[in-house]
Structure 1
Amino acid sequence: MKQAERVVIITGAAGGIGRALVNAFAADGGTVVAVDLPGSGILEFARGLGLPHLGLEFDVSREEDIVALYNRVETQFARIDVVVNNAAVGPSMDATVDTNVDAFRRVLAVNLIGPYVMAREAARRLEPGAVIVNVASLAGVVGNPKRNAYAASKAGLISITKSLACELAPRGIRVAAVAPGYVHTPMVEQLERAGAADLAAVRRRVPMGRMAHADEIARTVRFLASRDADYINGSVLTVDGGWTSFNQPGNANLSADGTPRAELFGPAGHVGARVVLVTGGANGIGAAVARRFAANGDTVVIVDKDGAAAAKLAGSLGGKHMAKSVDVAVESDVVALFEELRVRFARLDVLVNATVVVDSFVPGLQQTTDEIKRVLDVNLTGAFICAREAIKTMRAGGVILNVGTTHTFLPFAPRHAYEASQAGIEILTRCMAAELGPVGIRTAAVMSGHTSTPAVAQSANVGSIAPKGFRPSIPVAGIGKPEEMADATFFLASPDASYVNGSTLCVNGGTCLGDAGFAGDRDQEQPTKAAQWLPIMP
């Protein structure tokens, strides 16, 4: 993932997450401009990094400071490639009736208006290929008592991420965000010492049983800013250990006790080749995923109903890989598959559920019950059976990834069964995150938009869909490639995503952002009436 010579501006760089961000991008080969308030220690920190890195003091709530910052960076480096909006003030924890309006406005000025002005001034200077990543918060996703200004500012930052993604994509600039949950930082330690935070209670509420290490947030931001995330635009990735996936009274992890080592030093990375099973792995996105893991040196088991295509792909990848002809909707076949894997490998490290079928292009009133059952049986029940059997073979550190489509967030008539199956896949991911987090198994969903696959080409050839008609609605120009989904899937299975649990990562160019009219290239032809509602599937 190394991308040398990029110039990266990071605000709030003196804090816990900020320092981790600086170290992550510097280790990636970039030149870091670390900025924070006067007296924050940012100048000393930056000097310790050595040249060509730069430390600057400024106040993100002052527009004149932001303009001066960009002028200085432009003068010294002549370009800017990445802007990470990380600066923020924390919640005051005051009751609503005790909150001063000036204090409320101060939080908005730092956490929301400041990042907006940073992005605005960046957009005036950035070249195509540049990226803006906003560090939001779980507080902007779920409600928190006595955190009105902070939560509102972070929710606003998430919204601005999406609207800027639509606006700037035609200029070749991507915008994305992370929403961290609880992170073990010096500030959190201080709150605990002062009796203002019960960290033991926090850990019990997280399915993974711990808070994040700052490096885990930094590595996620680094991925979103990388070339491997080129089709991720407007997405907000929650990095919360499964907090938002738990919807029960009481504790999510009863075994959480003390301060886990991973909070203090970061989780241990994976050592050695993994055993990876990819369903629907013979063609399209599944095949791209299989190739990506194989390129990493992992052993890949390619499972597909088309056994001949699976065997051909496995053979092209090398002798250690395996192909099996399996219908994932047939329980006995799936059980037999996993029994064979247990005998051969004794374990499974990663399951990627990428098998998918779609319903026919007919109005819902004409769809038969049998067709609806078939779609749900393959896409949803089949994924469940594979996950159930995989759990029996996985150890702590295992990962279950479900590949779906963002059309579940922006449904297309008349794909009722397909959309229902994808909604089920997303919530299945969350349910398993809450259940499996305590035993060290993570889950996540990676959702595609319009993607160029053999199935799409075949549908276009017979006139069922019009791929050209979709392009104007995609903020990032062009239909997605299977390899872009594969890169995102590979990241979610990696140690860099070690605190991502139950989350959904959208890899769709920003398709479901809801911008009216043309989101992408305004010179492209307008979609036909049919193409406006006929989705391109994975």
Structure 2
Amino acid sequence: MMMSKKVAIVTGAAGGIGRSLCALLAEDGFRIAAVDLEGTDLNGALSSLDKDDHEAFTCNIGSEAEIVATIAAIHQHFGRIDVLVNNAALGPTMAATVDTTADGFRAALTVNLVGPLLLAREVARHMGPEGGAIVNIASLAGIVSNPKRNAYAASKAGVVSITKSLACELAHRNIRVAAVAPGYVRTPMVAGLERDGKADLSKVRQRIPMGRMARPDEIAAAARFLASDKARYVTGSVLAVDGGWATFNQPGEAHPPVSGTPAAELGKPAPSDNFKVVVVTGGGRGIGKAIAMAFAAKGDKVVILDRDETELCETEKALGDRCLSLKVDMADEQAVIDAFAAIKTLHGRIDVLINNAAIADRFMPVEEQDSAYLMGLLDINLTGAFLASREALRFMTKPGGVILNIGSINTFLPFAPRHAYGASKAGIDMLTRCLAAELGPDGIRLATIAPGYIRTPGVAALEASGSIDSGKIRRRIPMGELGKPEDIADAAIFLTSDDASYINGAILYVDGGWTAFGNAGDAAEIEENSVREAAQ
């Protein structure tokens, strides 16, 4: 019976984030292999867990020999390995370049980059045919630069890179690889920086749109999601958990000065038992319908907006009395205003807005794309999302409201000749970031989901018209398959939940590894005579 329970390895388990990781993964039923340096309080990390299910292992991840021996010992002890969370790291020294030795620089690379790669290598050797998940704890320092963090930042940028390359290499073995990129977290390491005069946390808070640092459990919750089956189509993705730090790009303060330490930085607020009022645009079919059904299934009140009356009626019937449907053309400003006025009259508030409404382009050469065609697509895909956000903000819950925008892999990798569509989705991501920087002080969070190819009626229509070749597409995806609308719905449920409470302005690619693949040739091998992907 014990052999059937999944096993998760957490490195740096004795630290703040590590302890939270152990606790949350144990809550999900994992047996924990807690790994840290000799002399650290590993027993303390496991003290609140059932000791019959968990075990502590000492290891210096700067030593290849110790890594090999430790992973072998963990596999021998538990009989299986399902999840690895690469959390252990050396913090930044904050030393000037001229004061940094080669040995010091190499030490950061050895522990922060080489160690996680070797751990992933050894864990992959021991994962069974059912695969598993590897989650790397990177850092915002590996995405945006700072002075005097040369070795640390370079090592974490390397972690971002190996997350993507490992995702592509290991996908055929059913091993997913993703990363969390935390901003400032209230850990003993950060407290030490303040104590040593290397960081002024009051200034740090003013630089973050949400006005506070993260709690360790907020980083752990993101890692837990990425390791879970709810993220089954997420690989190669790097999720920033930074309170909106990376969205702010102007002189001045992102948040007014904060007196003392915010309560939400010290402890997790009590969860609310109230249902949410959730508005989903383009909710009549495909991804929008799956999202609407997921929220309704958890007891929330759902309002779906769509311009197709037939699909609206079918979805409303499927959702029952927890749903209201409104026929709306998202390119019509007055129609959007009227729709949100009706929602206000009925519910009085909006807790979550999902901007999903969009149309695909017609794959025409640029010579055939005139201004009416281009603006028609941009009006629905981008202006419509802006209008819905503007109107929702007039009565959105503060604090606690969430706006989630549905982008696309075209956000990052535009396709020719899909000029307007790619531009609209790039605009969606930037709209998310601008609103995150603006609304963070009000306690409203933003995020973008960027789906890859998903088995929807829209994709089926593109295939039927000969616009896409599903066989070629599947070979281009490291995981070798198209996603399901439910994969996007699962991501939406997470990003709008309390578990995502420090995610603001981030983009999550749910694409089977599409955006992580940079090689020439195919990303996956598929059977040429396999059944074509069916639309759902």
Tell me the TM-score normalised to structure 2 length.
0.96
Cα distance, 1:149 vs. partner?
0.3
Give the paired residue count: 526
Cα distance, 1:314 vs. partner?
1.4
Conservation of the 8 A alpha-carbon contact between 1:43 and 1:56: no
Q: How does 1:437-516 map to 2 (within 5 A)?
A: 437-513=440-516, 514-516=518-520
Matched letter for residue 98 of structure 2: V
Q: Distance in 2 between matches of 1:403 and 1:51?
A: 43
Q: Distance in 1 between matches of 2:439 and 2:487?
A: 28
Q: Distance in 2 between matches of 1:176 and 1:291?
A: 27
Q: Distance in 2 between matches of 1:274 and 1:133?
A: 30
Q: How does 1:297-446 map to 2 (within 5 A)?
A: 297-395=299-397, 396-446=399-449
Question: Does residue 197 of the first structure (1) align with residue 171 of the second (2)?
Answer: no
Question: For structure 1, which segment, 126-135 or 46-55, has the greater mean C-alpha deviation from structure 2 after superposition?
Answer: 46-55
Conservation of the 8 A alpha-carbon contact between 2:404 and 2:448: yes
Query: Which digits, 9 at most, give the CA deviation of each residue in 1:382-420, with x for residues without a partner?
Result: 000000001111121000000011122111100000000
Cα distance, 1:451 vs. partner?
1.1
Q: Distance in 1 between matches of 2:505 and 2:416?
A: 27
Equivalent in the alignment of 2:180: 178
Question: For structure 1, which segment, 308-317 or 75-84, has the greater mean C-alpha deviation from structure 2 after superposition?
Answer: 308-317
Matched letter for residue 358 of structure 2: V
Q: Distance in 1 between matches of 2:148 and 2:241?
A: 22
CA-atom RMSD in angstroms = 1.6
Equivalent in the alignment of 1:104: 105
Identity %: 53
Matched letter for residue 17 of structure 2: I
Cα distance, 1:464 vs. partner?
2.4
Matched letter for residue 238 of structure 1: A
Question: For structure 1, which segment, 150-159 or 389-398, has the greater mean C-alpha deviation from structure 2 after superposition?
Answer: 389-398
Conservation of the 8 A alpha-carbon contact between 2:474 and 2:526: no
For structure 1, list consecutive stretches of 5 or more residues without a partner in the other structure. 527-535
Cα distance, 1:19 vs. partner?
0.7
Question: Does residue 141 of the first structure (1) align with residue 143 of the second (2)?
Answer: yes
Cα distance, 1:48 vs. partner?
4.7
Q: Distance in 2 between matches of 1:206 and 1:434?
A: 8
Secondary structure (helix, strand or coil) at the match of 1:351 reads strand
Matched letter for residue 521 of structure 2: G
Cα distance, 1:79 vs. partner?
0.5
Equivalent in the alignment of 2:524: 520
Query: Which digits, 9 at most, give the CA deviation of each residue in 1:345-383, with x for residues without a partner?
Result: 110000000001122121112112111010100000000
Secondary structure (helix, strand or coil) at the match of 1:56 reads strand
Conservation of the 8 A alpha-carbon contact between 1:21 and 1:218: yes
Query: Which digits, 9 at most, give the CA deviation of each residue in 1:103-143, with x for residues without a partner?
Result: 11011110000000000111111123300000000000011
Question: For structure 1, which segment, 248-257 or 298-307, has the greater mean C-alpha deviation from structure 2 after superposition?
Answer: 248-257
Q: Distance in 2 between matches of 1:366 and 1:97?
A: 57
Matched letter for residue 524 of structure 2: G
Equivalent in the alignment of 2:243: 241
Q: Distance in 2 between matches of 1:483 and 1:462?
A: 25
Q: Distance in 2 between matches of 1:429 and 1:193?
A: 35
Question: For structure 1, which segment, 63-72 or 491-500, has the greater mean C-alpha deviation from structure 2 after superposition?
Answer: 63-72
Cα distance, 1:328 vs. partner?
0.8
Question: For structure 1, which segment, 57-66 or 79-88, has the greater mean C-alpha deviation from structure 2 after superposition?
Answer: 57-66
Cα distance, 1:225 vs. partner?
0.3
Cα distance, 1:241 vs. partner?
0.2
Query: Which digits, 9 at most, give the CA deviation of each residue in 1:12-45, with x for residues without a partner?
Result: 0011111111111111111001010011111343
Q: Distance in 2 between matches of 1:482 and 1:522?
A: 22
For structure 2, list consecutive stretches of 5 or more residues without a partner in the other structure. none
Cα distance, 1:246 vs. partner?
0.4
Conservation of the 8 A alpha-carbon contact between 1:36 and 1:58: yes
Q: Distance in 2 between matches of 1:498 and 1:56?
A: 31
Equivalent in the alignment of 1:291: 293
Equivalent in the alignment of 1:530: none
Conservation of the 8 A alpha-carbon contact between 1:267 and 1:498: no
Task: Quickly say closer, same or farther: Cα 1:319–1:234, change in 2 above 3 A.
Answer: same
Cα distance, 1:199 vs. partner?
0.3
Q: How does 1:208-227 map to 2 (within 5 A)?
A: 208-227=210-229
Conservation of the 8 A alpha-carbon contact between 2:351 and 2:402: yes
Cα distance, 1:467 vs. partner?
1.6
